[in-house]
């Protein structure tokens, strides 16, 4: 791999420092980035956000493929805008990947035409197979197990709000789903305590929890799991929730609504968190189910800061995977 070049555009006379790189070459799951690489991404995202003009030709001449098996607002539009604002181009498809032809053939076609593949899929195995067969970077834009791009935007938002991530407590109330997995892993590696409150039967995957606990031990922080929302949010700096029935689980919505009834993040539950605790949600939100309209619209809510930071974190991710070499 060639060394990256400094980027300079007509809009910025000062040369930009060499771009940091992601050694794995892909972002299939959160573990594909080291803690140091995540910290470099956060620093780069902040600079991209403050000085977008510096990077507006960074991906000039490059085209990326966006493959979406699931509906999307924030992920699709922020990736399209990120690529566009960095000077590149995007092509997109909807529908099942690997239905008309094998995933390995899709990957080897796209690697001939595009500089990277961004895939939002039902199964983690689809992203893994794309990465196995593509010589170009593959980015996980959400699977059944992970949502790394969301977690990167979330830790960027927390860093902006609190100034530092070290020692913060992030509490997640609801389903032990892909978002919970990614947040748990990023929290542990970046020195944040993490608490997860789920109804019985909806816990995080044991193997992902075990990995997060090992990372947390290395960083001197704690991963807590409980079935008590009040216990999870006690002294929390941020309280996070997500829909109770994620895409692919809509047929379980009736039963899940019953099982999760006492896991709603309302004003009373927020009152049990730290006095300066913020409220977070990856959106879209089902107001009246996993949270209330009052919490969503309260001064504590930073959900739209999270949504904005999807754009900046993903720009930094693209730069670290594809920036000029």
Q: What is the Cα–Cα distance from 81 to 311, expressed in whole angstroms?
A: 7
Pairing state between β 193-197 and 223-226: parallel
User: Would residue 100 show up in a list of annotated catalytic residues for this protein?
Assistant: no
User: Would residue 161 show up in a list of annotated catalytic residues for this protein?
Assistant: no
Let me know if 283 is exposed, middle or buried by CB neighbors in 10 A (0-12, 13-18, 19+). middle
User: Would residue 85 show up in a list of annotated catalytic residues for this protein?
Assistant: no
Which of 29, 147, 281, 312 is flagged as catalytic?
147
- The three-state secondary structure class of 190 is coil
Which of 29, 54, 74, 120 is flagged as catalytic?
120
Which of 74, 181, 242, 306 is flagged as catalytic?
242
Which of 62, 186, 282, 314 is flagged as catalytic?
282
Task: Show Cβ contacts of residue 92 under 8 Å, excluding neighbours closer than 6 positions.
Answer: 65, 66, 67, 68, 76, 80
In the numeric block, which tokens belong to residue 136? Answer: 């170009």
Give the HSE-up count for residue 45: Cα atoms under 13 Å, Cβ half-sphere.
28
Radius of gyration of the chain (CA): 19
What are the φ/ψ torsions at residue 243 (nearest 5 degrees)?
Answer: -60, 150
Q: Residue 298's CB: how many other CB atoms inside 10 A?
A: 13
In the numeric block, which tokens belong to residue 129? Answer: 């197979």
Which of 56, 62, 74, 150 is flagged as catalytic?
150
User: Would residue 149 show up in a list of annotated catalytic residues for this protein?
Assistant: no
Please list the active-site residues: 120, 147, 150, 242, 282, 310
């Amino acid at each position: 791999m060639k060394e990256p070049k400094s980027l300079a555009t007509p809009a910025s006379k000062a040369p930009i420092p060499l771009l940091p790189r992601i050694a794995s070459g892909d972002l299939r799951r959160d573990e594909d980035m080291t803690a140091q690489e995540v910290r470099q991404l956060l620093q780069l995202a902040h600079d991209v956000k403050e000085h977008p003009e510096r990077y507006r030709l960074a991906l000039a001449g490059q085209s990326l493929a966006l493959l979406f098996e699931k509906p999307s607002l924030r992920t699709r539009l922020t990736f399209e805008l990120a690529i566009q604002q960095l000077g590149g181009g995007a092509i997109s498809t909807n529908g099942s990947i690997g239905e008309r032809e094998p995933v390995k053939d899709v990957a080897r076609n796209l690697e001939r035409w595009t500089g990277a593949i961004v895939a939002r899929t039902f199964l983690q195995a689809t992203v893994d197979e794309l990465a196995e067969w593509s010589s170009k970077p593959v980015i996980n834009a959400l699977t059944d197990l992970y949502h790394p791009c969301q977690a990167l935007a979330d830790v960027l938002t927390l860093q902006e709000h609190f100034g530092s991530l070290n020692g913060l407590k992030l509490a997640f109330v609801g389903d032990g789903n892909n978002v919970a997995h990614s947040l748990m892993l990023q929290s542990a590696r970046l020195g944040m305590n993490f608490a997860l409150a789920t109804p019985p039967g909806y816990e995080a995957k044991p193997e992902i929890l075990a990995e997060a606990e090992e990372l947390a031990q290395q960083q001197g922080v704690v991963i807590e799991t409980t079935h008590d929302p009040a216990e999870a949010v006690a002294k929390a700096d941020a309280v996070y929730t997500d829909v109770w029935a994620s895409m692919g689980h809509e047929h379980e919505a009736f039963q899940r609504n019953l099982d999760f009834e006492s896991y709603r993040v309302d004003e009373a539950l927020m009152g049990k968190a730290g006095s300066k605790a913020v409220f977070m949600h990856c959106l879209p939100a089902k107001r009246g189910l996993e949270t209330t309209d009052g919490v969503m619209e309260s001064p504590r809510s930073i959900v739209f800061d999270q949504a904005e930071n999807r754009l900046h974190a993903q720009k930094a991710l693209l730069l670290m995977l594809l920036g000029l070499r």
